[in-house]
Structure 1
Amino acid sequence: MNLEKLFRALTLISFFGLMLTLLAWIFIAPHAENYPVAAMLIIGLVPLLFPMRGLLYGRPYTHAWTSFLMLFYFSHAVGELYSAPAVSIYPLLALICSSICFCSTIIYVKANAKNKKATSVTN
């Protein structure tokens, strides 16, 4: 398995892992009675729907800007871990998934560019 395929798979696994973590965090984690579930779903999950098609098709441009999107989820998870009185599993999983997705998208873009350059030189 070459580097490009490995990091594309790692991107997809961490991306969908982040989506599942956010869903579990919104639906399973204990919240206040006036917690706006619909608003949290819109704020938390709708931004992840925009790059999904490009990630599934392996488009490098989508991988590149998805790395910037992951910074939002990373900073949110860090803030939740810092402000919560006890360590919760949900922000920790979101931190891990967003970090892995951020790094793997960048490495995928670099590996894809290197492969394209190598194939254009040989042709």
Structure 2
Amino acid sequence: MSVRFFHWGAIVSLIALILLTLGWELWLAPLRPGGSLLALKAVVLLAPLMGVLKGRIYTYQWSSMFILAFFAEGVMRAWADAGLSQQLAGVEVMLTVLFFGFVIFFVRSSQSQKNT
């Protein structure tokens, strides 16, 4: 697979995670009726967005560790929550795993292209 595929996979999964976070905490299953301040965690996800969009290796490298916090949150909420919130947590886990995989393969493919 090409570097471009992994690049676009990372972009799509990160944007999907941002949208999921906003939808989850504002409308779909917020902790409090009317929305939750947990929606602000979507702002944190904006930190790596520009670097990922531009294909910066350094951003990909640190975001691979950064995304693990969202993975941990998804696992805990999938275990502790019920109903729609539990399902959304499962989607969060899936998106973080996808993002992590795309990031790892993007960096690996980019470095192997430089070496050839």
| TM-score normalised per structure 1 | 0.84
1:40-90 C-alpha deviation (Å, 9 max, x unpaired)? 122x11221111111110011101111111101100000000012346331
* 1:24-63 to 2 correspondences below 5 Å: 24-33=23-32, 37=36, 39-42=37-40, 44-63=41-60
RMSD of aligned C-alpha atoms? 1.9
Structure 2, gaps ≥5 residues long = none
* CA 1:9–1:72: 2 relative to 1, 3 Å: same
SS in 1 for 2:28: coil
User: Size of the alignment, in residue pairs?
Assistant: 115
1:100 corresponding residue in structure 2: 98
2:111 corresponding residue in structure 1: 113
- Cα distance in structure 2, aligned partners of 1:63 and 1:17: 17
User: Who wins on radius of gyration, i.e. which is larger?
Assistant: 1
Which range moved further: 20-29 or 79-88?
A: 79-88
Structure 1, gaps ≥5 residues long = 119-123
- Cα distance in structure 2, aligned partners of 1:103 and 1:80: 22
2:10 corresponding residue in structure 1: 11
Q: By how many angstroms is 1:27 displaced?
A: 1.2
- Cα distance in structure 1, aligned partners of 2:109 and 2:101: 12
Q: By how many angstroms is 1:32 displaced?
A: 5.0
Q: By how many angstroms is 1:28 displaced?
A: 1.6
SS in 1 for 2:82: coil
| TM-score normalised per structure 2 | 0.88
Q: By how many angstroms is 1:33 displaced?
A: 4.2
